[in-house]
Amino acid sequence: MNSLIFIVVLFICGGALRKTGLFSKQAPIQFNLYVIYVALPALILKTLPSISINESMLKVVAIAWMAILLSVIAVLFISKKLGLSREITGVLLLLVPFGNTSFVGIPLISALVGEKGLPTVIIYDQLGSFLGMILYGSWVLAVYSGAEKPSIQILLKRMILFPP
């Protein structure tokens, strides 16, 4: 419980710092870029040696992909029933299946379970959410963002060049 209180205190401190004007309006963008390009890869590389791929870790990946699949089916079903536009369906196909497992999930699991939970959450995040976002997310963006359907070469290029 102390860890959760600490997280709440950090959120309060962040809100207070925003109101003081000490940081520019661009600071959150810079902090996010630091997390995406430096801190998260460093954490993953630090944790990788302690991860043993076994049956339980494969189950974690399967759960992540099942959650994505069930979310996609639900979105497509609801979009069709409600007659939602192609654009809204495309946005929902990106938003609903993916939680913020890196920015929120990793710190939350660390706070609740401790360091011993990091290998499991890293596997879920990287081989589940992140890989799903690269493969499936790139496809959704390509198919739902324009009038013409992109070629396989364009899709592969977008996936390979996806910054994170």
pLDDT in tens, 76-128: 999 999 999 988 999 999 999 988 888 888 888 888 888 888 899 999 998 88
pLDDT tens-place string over residues 54-79: 898 899 999 999 999 999 999 999 99
Q: What is the pTM of this model?
A: 0.76
What's the rounded Cα separation, in Å, for the pair 30 and 151? 34
CA atoms in the 13 A half-sphere facing the CB of 88: 8
- Is 162's pLDDT higher than 70? no
Residue found by looking up tokens 């520019």 in the block: 24
Residue 113 to residues 10, 13, 146: CA-CA distances in angstroms?
18, 23, 43
Q: What are phi and psi of 147, to 5 degrees?
A: -75, -35
